Structure 1
Amino acid sequence: MNTAFAAEKTAQAEAAREQERAFQARVDRGEIRMVAADRYEILTGWDRGETFTLSRNAEGQIEQIIAAHGLGDRADGTAALYASSPAWHGLGQIIPQGTTDIDEVLRLSGLDFEVITVPALYEWQGQMREHADQQHTVRADTGAALGAVGSRYTPIQNRAGFVFLQELVSRYDVVWESAGLLRGGKRVFISIRLPETVAVDADGINDIVVPYIAVMNDHSGNGQFQCVVTPWRPVCANTERFAVRDAVTRWAVRHTAGATSQIKEARRTLGLSARYFEQFAAEETALARTDIAIADFHQVIADLWPLEEDASKRKRTNHAARLDAITDVYRTESGRVGHTAYAAERAITGYLDHLTPRRPPQSMTEEIARATALLEGADDEIKSKAHRRLLQLRTR
Structure 2
Amino acid sequence: MTITADVNTQFAAEKTAQINAAREREAAFQARIDRGEVRLMGGDRYEVLTGWDRGEVFTVSRNAQGQIDAIIANHGLDSRADGTIALYAASPAWHGLGQIIPGGTTDIDTVLRLSGLAFDVVTVPALYMWEGTLREHADQRHTVRTDTGAALGAVGGRYTPIQNREGFEFLQELVGRYDVVWESAGVIRGGRRVFISIRLPETVTVDADGINDIVVPYVAVMNDHSGNGQFQCVVTPWRPVCANTERFAVRDAVTRWAVRHTAGATDQIKEARRTLGLSVKYFERFADEETALARTDLAVADFHQVIADLWPLEDDAKDRTKTNHANRLAALDDVFRTESERVGRTAYAAERAITGYLDHIAPRRPGKTMTEEIARATAALEGADDDTKNKAHKRLLVLTRS
TM-score (norm. length: structure 2): 0.91
Offset at residue 12 of structure 1 (A): 6.1
Task: State the partner residue of 1:196.
Answer: 202
1:126 paired with 2:132, answer yes
Q: How far apart, CA to CA, are the structure 2 residues paired with 1:169 and 1:73?
A: 27
Q: Which moved more, 1:337-346 or 1:121-130?
A: 121-130
Q: How far apart, CA to CA, are the structure 2 residues paired with 1:136 and 1:3?
A: 62
1:387 paired with 2:389, answer no
Task: State the partner residue of 1:93.
Answer: 99
Identify if the C-alpha distance between structure 1 residues 271 and 314 changes in structure 2 by more than 3 Å, giving closer, same or farther. farther
Within the candidate set 327, 341, 350, 2:347 is matched to: 341
Deviations 1:191-225 (A, max 9, x none): 11111221111122211111111111111111111
Identify if the C-alpha distance between structure 1 residues 8 and 224 changes in structure 2 by more than 3 Å, giving closer, same or farther. closer
Segments of structure 2 that go 5 or more residues without pairing to the other structure are none
Q: How far apart, CA to CA, are the structure 1 residues paired with 2:146 and 2:238?
A: 35
Deviations 1:271-311 (A, max 9, x none): 72432221111000101111111221122112211122222
Name the amino acid aligned to 2:92: P
CA contact (8 A) 1:239 1:349 kept: yes
Identify if the C-alpha distance between structure 1 residues 384 and 79 changes in structure 2 by more than 3 Å, giving closer, same or farther. same
**How many residue pairs are counted as aligned between the two chains?**
396
Q: How far apart, CA to CA, are the structure 2 residues paired with 1:3 and 1:257?
A: 69
Q: How far apart, CA to CA, are the structure 1 residues paired with 2:401 and 2:178?
A: 44
1:164 paired with 2:170, answer yes
Identify if the C-alpha distance between structure 1 residues 123 and 47 changes in structure 2 by more than 3 Å, giving closer, same or farther. same
Q: How far apart, CA to CA, are the structure 2 residues paired with 1:309 and 1:270?
A: 45
Aligned pairs for 1:69-84 (under 5 A) are: 69-84=75-90
Task: State the partner residue of 2:266.
Answer: 260
Deviations 1:70-121 (A, max 9, x none): 0011111110011111103211011111111111111101111111111222
Q: How far apart, CA to CA, are the structure 2 residues paired with 1:217 and 1:5?
A: 52
CA contact (8 A) 2:253 2:278 kept: no
Q: How far apart, CA to CA, are the structure 1 residues paired with 2:119 and 2:178?
A: 22
Offset at residue 24 of structure 1 (A): 3.7
Q: How far apart, CA to CA, are the structure 1 residues paired with 2:150 and 2:269?
A: 31
Q: What RMSD, in angstroms, separates the aligned Cα atoms of the two structures?
A: 2.5
1:289 paired with 2:298, answer no
Secondary structure of the residue that 1:375 maps to in structure 2?
A: helix
Secondary structure of the residue that 1:262 maps to in structure 2?
A: helix
Identical columns (%): 81
Deviations 1:127-148 (A, max 9, x none): 3222221111111122111111
Q: How far apart, CA to CA, are the structure 2 residues paired with 1:389 and 1:41?
A: 33
Q: How far apart, CA to CA, are the structure 1 residues paired with 2:279 and 2:25?
A: 48
Within the candidate set 29, 40, 51, 2:57 is matched to: 51
Q: How far apart, CA to CA, are the structure 1 residues paired with 2:176 and 2:64?
A: 57
